[in-house]
Amino acid sequence: MSDLKTFRPGATRVVAYGVSVLMLVLTAVVGLSLPEDISFTPAETGTLWLIIGFVLALLHGVGRSYVRADDDGVEVLNGYRRHQIAWADIQGFALNSGAPWPTLVTNDDERVMMFGIQGSDGSYAKEAVDYLRGRLAA
């Protein structure tokens, strides 16, 4: 049986999805509150929805990030980019004081930021990195 552990951002995830909902609600309230004599062209409306869509996609990318460790290695999903790294290819993990997130360092000295573990989550971030370091040592 595979030992699988997944880490996701805490407060950052709540903020990302909370801002998304707030943005949609405010857009609807403002849109419905405008006087009848104010209208937008299709190009203006389309531009507005493109910008909103871009911001929502960006916020969703932050919220969906994770770090997953199993018997084969570590999978890091940063927004929309996925990294799959075998344990044998990992040199170590770094979480410097004040760093926004930890870094996975490969044997080739490639550095992969791990957005799924946010330094601002304090002891949760430290425990997650300690867990990963323990798995690497084992």
CATH no. for residue 8?
2.30.29
> How many domains would you assign to the chain?
1
Closest CA to 121 of 4, 7, 22: 7
H/E stretch holding 106: strand 103-106
pLDDT tens-digit readout, 24-54: 999 999 988 999 888 889 999 999 999 999 9
Supply the range of the domain harboring residue 31.
1-138
H/E stretch holding 58: helix 42-64
Task: Report d(CA 65, CA 79) in Å as an integer.
Answer: 5
Residue with tokens 């949760």: 124
pLDDT tens-digit readout, 65-102: 999 999 999 999 998 999 999 999 999 999 888 888 89
pTM: 0.80
pLDDT confidence of residue 1: 44
